[in-house]
Structures are given as structure tokens and as C-alpha cells.
Structure 1
Amino acid sequence: AVENECWRALMPQTWDLHLPGWPAGGVIWIPRPPLRSITSITYRDEDGTAATFDAANYRVDTATEPGRVVLAPGADWPSVALDSSNPITVRFVAGYADAGDVPGMAKAAILLQIGEIYANREAVIVGSTPQVTPAVQRVLNLLKVRY
């Protein structure tokens, strides 16, 4: 619940971001901070042929939240005609390095939610997802990524 409510990755995980085209501003914003690394940026041309965008053509900014990919000075996005269905895939690794790096507020939200579920265990239906309590929601709002 914490990851979904805050749009963050708490532990290391690999994601694919699919894009319909190259961004006009030269920046690809990467969801699910913290961004740890970009594994690859691949694209398909209109014939379906896959290619990899060379890492020398972009810089990875892991310091901002959310992280981003920025074109290197003098570089441009490939000028080929792209496939019509999400032809660009950015594979990235997000998440804190280990449990000790996860923000204390995220851990507190998890513990608050567990305590609420335990205190009201009769009301929880097995197999269902319990509602996030208002107290937990207030803590999670402090961690929420704003796009």
C-alpha cells in the first residue's frame, strides 16, 4: 500500500516505462523514485525493428525526485519514424539500496497500518485489501511524489 499510495519504490526493483514518442523537451521523467539507474532505452521503428539508444547520448539524474533522463549536450533523440504503439521502453532500477535507507515515515506508516489491521482484525475479510486509515494517509501524503 505504501508504494502505491506514494508512487515510490521502497526496495530495489526493475521497471519498464513505455512511451508513445520522444519528449519534446529533451527530458524523460522516471516514476517510482528513488531512481537508482537506467538499464537501457530501446525503441522500435515503424517496421518493428528494435534498437538501443546509446547511453553516451543521455545523462541520468538520480538526485532529483522523480529522477530523469536528460539528453547529453549536442545529442538528439533518434529521428527515425517510430512504431505506433508505445515504441520506446526505458528500463530502470528504482528503490532504496536496503531496508535501512527506507524513510522512517514509510516504516511508521506500515506499522500504523499493521496496528490498525490487528486492532480491528474482526472487520478484515481474508483475501481483501484493507482500507488505508486516515492517520496512515496523512503520513503517506508527506512522502507522496508530486508530478
Structure 2
Amino acid sequence: MTPLALTPPALEPVSLAEAKIFLRLDQSAEDDLLATLITAARLMVEAASGRLLVDQAWRVVIDRWPDGGEIRLPLSPVSAITAARVYDVLGTAQPVAPGALQLDTVADPPVIRLAGEVPEIGRPRGAIEIDVVAGFAPTAAAVPALLRQAVLRLAARWFEQRGDVVGRDAEALPAEIMTLVAPFRRVRL
């Protein structure tokens, strides 16, 4: 199973204005740098938490329909299936009927269940593509406060402590950031 990002979120979970207030910045000379750091911090928090923060379009590519009829998604949370297609032996995309796939948004990780007739696959690799919307919501207000705070604090840390701090943080996030992210990580038993 391969997840592919199709479109980034329309906005970040922390605005440039919020970050500037947090950092007590009055000037706009470094707005581009700070905006880049906010995006990088979001990506790090998403990776550490295993959750996508603001709605974004993703495509999940699989080789064949699962035997048990359930596809456990590598993305979380997922709010909608926007399209699905299967490639036949000629390489032509055949659409999957909307009711043939059911999304269980309560399951963690989210699960897509086969609920109807689906086209036959026609190639051995990458035969099925399912497009989904992943994220807590389209607006930053719906992102859990702890995850927003982790993005804000990480971007501020990188802004204030420029240099090799980003390289060290890429290996392991600072403890105070991981504490904010911890409640959202999926635990394996």
C-alpha cells in the first residue's frame, strides 16, 4: 500500500499572525522564513503523531482487493472517499461505484470495507487507487489544541535557535514537543 499526497492543506494549523504574536515579532522581514518553519513543523508533528492535521487530498494505491474485504488505511483521520478506480488489463481506469466502498471513520486506523461489486483488477501492481480526504477538518480551529501548540512551539524553537538545532530535532523531536504529541500517537500492544 502506497499513500501519495495529492494536494497540501489549504492552510496551516498555525497562522503566520499567531506565530508572530507568540514570538513577539512586529516586523515582516522574516515572514517567509517563519511561514516555511510553520510548514516544516506541521510536517514533523504529523510524522510524530501519525495524524494529518488540516484536510488534504491523498491517494492510496494498492495492488489487489484484500481477502478479508478490509483496507486499513495508513492515514488518520480520514473523513471521506472522494474517488476510487481500478485499472483493467488494457490500463484503462474503471470507476468504483460510490456505494461499493464504505469508510469507517471511527476505527483507528480508518478502515475501508468492500460493500458491493468492484471491478476486476487487470495489472499486478498499483491496480487500485482510492482518493481520500485526510485531516481533522478543513480549518485550523478543528485541529486539537495540543497538536497546534506543538506546531507553534516547534516553529518558534527553530526560529529562535537557528543553526544546527533543526538537524538535531529532525532525529528526535524535543521532549516538550513529544509530550504534546504523545496523546495522539497510535499505541501498539
TM range (shorter): 0.7 to 0.9
AA paired with 2:134?
A: A
Partner of 2:63: 20
Partner of 1:107: 148
Partner of 1:66: 109
The reply to whether residue 92 of structure 1 matches residue 132 of structure 2 is yes
Could you list the per-position Cα deviations for residues 5-42 of structure 1 after superposition, in whole angstroms to 9, with x for gaps in the alignment? Answer: 22221111000001011111111122322111001111
Partner of 1:35: 78
Q: CA deviation at 1:47?
A: 2.4
The TM-score with structure 2 as length reference comes to 0.65
Partner of 1:140: 181
SS class of match (2:148) = helix
Q: Which has the higher contact order (CA 8 A, sep 6+)?
A: 1
SS class of match (2:155) = helix
The reply to whether residue 10 of structure 1 matches residue 74 of structure 2 is no
Task: Report the Cα distance in structure 2 between the residues aligned to 1:8 and 1:31, rounded to whole angstroms.
Answer: 10
Task: Report the Cα distance in structure 2 between the residues aligned to 1:43 and 1:129, rounded to whole angstroms.
Answer: 43
Q: CA deviation at 1:130?
A: 4.2
Cα distance change of structure 1 residues 47 and 129 upon mapping to structure 2, 3 Å threshold: farther
Give the unaligned 5+ runs of structure 1: none
Calculate percent identity across the aligned residue pairs. 26
The reply to whether residue 82 of structure 1 matches residue 122 of structure 2 is yes
Q: CA deviation at 1:137?
A: 2.3
AA paired with 2:107?
A: T
Task: Report the Cα distance in structure 2 between the residues aligned to 1:120 and 1:17, rounded to whole angstroms.
Answer: 37
Task: Report the Cα distance in structure 2 between the residues aligned to 1:129 and 1:19, rounded to whole angstroms.
Answer: 35
C-alpha contact (below 8 Å) 1:17/1:89 kept by paired residues:
yes
Could you list the per-position Cα deviations for residues 35-57 of structure 1 after superposition, in whole angstroms to 9, with x for gaps in the alignment? Answer: 11001111112221210111222
Equivalent pairs, count? 142
SS class of match (1:82) = coil
SS class of match (1:43) = strand
AA paired with 1:120?
A: Q
SS class of match (1:121) = coil
Cα distance change of structure 1 residues 77 and 145 upon mapping to structure 2, 3 Å threshold: farther
Task: Report the Cα distance in structure 1 between the residues aligned to 2:101 and 2:95, rounded to whole angstroms.
Answer: 12
Could you list the per-position Cα deviations for residues 39-82 of structure 1 after superposition, in whole angstroms to 9, with x for gaps in the alignment? Answer: 1111112221210111222222122222221122xx3544x342
